Amino acid sequence: YSREQQRKQATSQHAALARELHDSVAQQLGYLSFQARVLHAQINTPEQAGVVLQELRSGLSQLQRQVRELITSARLTMDGRSLRQALADSVAEFSRRCIIVFELDNRLADNALSAETELQVLQIIREALANAVRHSHARHVRIELRQSQGGEVSVSVEDDGIGLSPASGEENHFGLAIIRERAASIGARLSIDAIRPHGVRVHLALVGHPDVPEGNFDAEHHLIADR
C-alpha cells in the first residue's frame, strides 16, 4: 500500500469506530443520563425508584458489554496468522467459554481474500459466535466457509438454538448491527434468518468482489470440533 492508501484505510477504520460509538455507546449513555434524572425526581417514591434503578443497572451492564466488545474489536488483528489459523484459534477460544460444540469446516483457499477483508470476515464470525453463546441456548454451532468455481465466497454461522428471540432485545440488536455494518464495509451480501426446526443462520456472500480471485475453489478441507 502507498502512504495515501494507508491513510485512507486508517481514516475509514476510525470513521467506522466513531459510528459504532455513536450508534451504541453515546445513545445508551444519553438514555442512562435521562434515567438518572428520573430516579432523582422519584427518590421519595421507593417503588417507582426501584423500577428505574433496575433499568439503570441493566443499562449499565449492557453498556459495559458494548464497550468491551468495541475495545476487543479495535484490538483484534491477524497477528501474522492466516485466516485459517485465526478461525481455529477463535473456535478454541469460544469452546473454552461454554459447553456448545463448535464445528469449523473451512474450505476456503488461504489467498482467497485480501488482508483487510479477512480481518472483517473474522470479526463478523466472532460476533456471530458471541451472539450464539449469549442468546441462542444452542448445543451446536457450525461455521462453514466455501468458494465456488466462479470465485464467490460464502461464509455461514449456523446454530441449533431458540432462534431469533424478541427476548434478547437491544443486546442482540447491537451485535447484529455490528455484523451488518462490517458486511457492508467489504461489499458483502448478508442475511440473518431463522432456520427449521429451530436456530439461526448468519450468511455472508462476497459476490464478484475484486478481492476474490477465481479458480481457488480447490481448498483444503479443515474441520475442527471442540467442546
List the CATH number of the domain containing 199: 3.30.565.10
> Which residue, 156, 164, 175, is CA-closest to 198?
164
Predicted local distance difference test score (pLDDT) of residue 209: 43
Predicted local distance difference test score (pLDDT) of residue 6: 53
Task: Give Cα 44 to chain centroid, integer Å.
Answer: 43
Quick one: 71 and 170 in the same domain? no
Give the length of the chain.
Answer: 227
Predicted local distance difference test score (pLDDT) of residue 89: 93
Quick one: 19 and 123 in the same domain? no
Encoded amino acid at 37, one letter: R
Predicted local distance difference test score (pLDDT) of residue 77: 72
pTM over 0.85: no
Phi/psi region, residue 195 (left: phi>0; alpha: psi -120 to 50; beta: rest), is beta
Neighbouring CB atoms inside 10 A of 125's CB total: 24
Quick one: 19 and 68 in the same domain? yes
Neighbouring CB atoms inside 10 A of 23's CB total: 15
- Domain boundary (23, 47, 75) is at 75
Quick one: 94 and 187 in the same domain? yes
Domain that holds residue 121: 83-226
Q: Which residues of the chain have pLDDT under 70?
A: 1-27, 66, 68-76, 165-174, 207-227
Quick one: 39 and 127 in the same domain? no
175-210 burial, b at 16+ Cβ within 10 Å, e below that, comes to bbbbbebbbebbebebebeeeeeebbbbbbbbeebe
Quick one: 59 and 113 in the same domain? no
Quick one: 115 and 147 in the same domain? yes
pLDDT digit string, tens, across residues 155-168: 999 999 998 766 55
Encoded amino acid at 186, one letter: I
Quick one: 218 and 138 in the same domain? yes
Phi, psi of 191, deg, nearest 5? -135, 140
Whole-angstrom distance, CA of residue 92 vs CA of residue 226: 7
- Domain boundary (75, 96, 129) is at 75
Q: Facing residues of 193 across strands?
A: 201
Q: Based on the structure, what is the number of domains in the chain?
A: 2
Give the three-state DSSP class for 203: strand
Quick one: 33 and 90 in the same domain? no
Which DSSP category does 168 fall into? G
Quick one: 122 and 65 in the same domain? no
